[in-house]
Amino acid sequence: MGREVSESCIDSLLIEMVSTYCNRFYANKPELAARRIEAIGYQVGHQLSERYTMERPRFSDHLEAIKFICKDFWSELFKKQIDNLKTNHRGTFVLQDNRFRWLTRMSIDQSPENGASEEPSIMADEKAVESMHLYFPCGIIRGALSNLGIPCAVSADISNLPACSFVIRIKA
């Protein structure tokens, strides 16, 4: 087992990173905040996938690489695998995590009593906050796949909370 830190460390860091970009740097430009958060995720995904595939043979096709993301990669990050994988066999993959950790933990940390802090008011629309938080894992997935030679676009769907689906569209 490698080195570990308490889960609060990563949770606090992510909440603060999103809040810094959304509320302090780009309060009126959510699309710019989103791009930065995604870029941070991309970099993390790229580096993690480099580390986790060092001793593996190359993946023979896209599906093999996506399966690696669903199983090994997700387990390293969340101690569980993706629960459901669907594909249209034309370059679109939908990865569903039935209980996405970063969303279930988030609502706890943003309890009303934290409103007393000196931050500018947290975005009123809770959905908007959640979707801002999702740019980070979307970036991680895109970075990981891009490191495996697969350029793609990744978006998230949270219409069935606490389940979260990540939609990967591989660029032809």
Partner 1 sequence: MPPAAPRSGDAIFASVERVNAELFTLTYGAIVRQLLTDLEEVEEVNKQLDQMGYNIGIRLIDEFLAKSNVSRCVDFKETAEMIAKVGFKMFLGVTASVMNWDADGTCCSIVLEDNPLVDFVELPDTCQGLYYCNILSGVIRGALEMVAMKTEVTWIRDMLRGDDAYELQVKLLKQVPEEYPYKDDE
Q: Which tokens hold the place of 7? A: 């889960």
Q: What is the nearest approach in angstroms of partner 1 to the Cβ of residue 100?
A: 14
DSSP 109-146: HT-GGGGGSSSPPPPS-HHHHHHHHHHHHHHHHHHHHH
Residues between 112 and 171 that touch partner 1 (CB under 8 A)? 114, 117-119
Q: What is the nearest approach in angstroms of partner 1 to the Cβ of residue 29?
A: 12
Q: How far is CA 156 from CA 6, 7, 78, 108, 167, in A?
A: 26, 23, 17, 21, 6
Are 11 and 105 in contact, with CB atoms under 8 Å apart?
A: yes
Question: Is 36 one of the binding residues for partner 1 (CB under 8 A)?
Answer: yes
Which CB, 28 or 60, lies closer to partner 1? 28
Interface mask toward partner 1 for 69-88; x: CB under 8 A: -------xx-x---------
Site size with partner 1, rule: CB under 8 A: 34
Q: What is the nearest approach in angstroms of partner 1 to the Cβ of residue 23?
A: 10
C-alpha of 34 from chain center: 12
Q: How far apart, in whole angstroms, are the C-alpha atoms of residue 166 and residue 158?
A: 9
Which residues contact partner 1 by CB under 8 A?
2-10, 12-14, 16-17, 19-20, 25, 36, 39-41, 43-44, 47-48, 51, 76-77, 79, 109, 114, 117-119
